């Protein structure tokens, strides 16, 4: 019994980190975490550091500066909104996140392109997207 209670508690707390992230995002604030023990940055939000196992995780606002690690064009009919970009972005804090690059044609997004994070509205609520940075 004890072990099943323990795992339930762990599930509840990991949902807590996700919920906090979403609530902040809904207010227009993009936050990631940093481990106070090993000082590495963490994304996606969680309760336990994936690098060292510490639970001393602190929220902070990243600079939002990143570079495109990989990019894909997802084909979609024009009446469904047209093609869009899906990209993996490396933030300068050292975390990688799935997002999309806006402000340029989906096919013009290139690997290594410098980008800047921005909180945008979508059908599913606020989300973090990226725009190309002027060199």
Residues at the contact surface with Zn ion, assessed by CB under 5 A: 35, 37-38, 49, 51-52, 54
In the complex, least distance from residue 51 CB atom to Zn ion, rounded to whole angstroms: 4
In the complex, least distance from residue 20 CB atom to Zn ion, rounded to whole angstroms: 18
Q: Strands 96-99 and 84-91: what pairing?
A: antiparallel
In the complex, least distance from residue 45 CB atom to Zn ion, rounded to whole angstroms: 14
Q: List all residues 6 or more positions away from 4 whose beta carbon is below 8 Å from its beta carbon.
A: none
Between 36 and 61, whose beta carbon lies closer to Zn ion?
36
In the complex, least distance from residue 105 CB atom to Zn ion, rounded to whole angstroms: 39
Between 12 and 38, whose beta carbon lies closer to Zn ion?
38
Within 10 Å of residue 127's Cβ, how many Cβ atoms? Answer: 16
Between 91 and 101, whose beta carbon lies closer to Zn ion?
91
Between 55 and 121, whose beta carbon lies closer to Zn ion?
55
Within 10 Å of residue 129's Cβ, how many Cβ atoms? Answer: 21
| Backbone angles phi and psi of 25, in degrees to 5 | -65, -40
Q: In whole angstroms, what is the distance from residue 135 CA to residue 6 CA? A: 50
Q: In whole angstroms, what is the distance from residue 68 CA to residue 110 CA? A: 7
Q: How many residues does the chain have?
A: 135
């Amino acid at each position: 019994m004890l072990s099943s209670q323990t795992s339930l508690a762990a599930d509840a707390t990991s949902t807590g980190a996700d919920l906090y992230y979403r609530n902040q995002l809904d207010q227009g604030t993009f936050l990631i975490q940093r481990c106070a023990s090993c000082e590495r940055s963490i994304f996606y939000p969680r309760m336990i550091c994936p690098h060292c196992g510490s639970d001393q995780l602190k929220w902070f606002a990243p600079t939002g500066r990143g570079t495109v690690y990989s990019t894909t064009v997802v084909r979609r009919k024009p009446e469904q909104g047209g093609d869009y970009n899906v990209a993996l972005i490396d933030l300068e804090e050292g975390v990688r996140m799935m997002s999309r690059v806006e402000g340029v044609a989906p096919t013009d997004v290139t690997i290594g392109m410098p980008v800047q994070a921005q909180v945008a509205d979508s059908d599913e609520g606020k989300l973090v997207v990226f725009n190309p940075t002027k060199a």
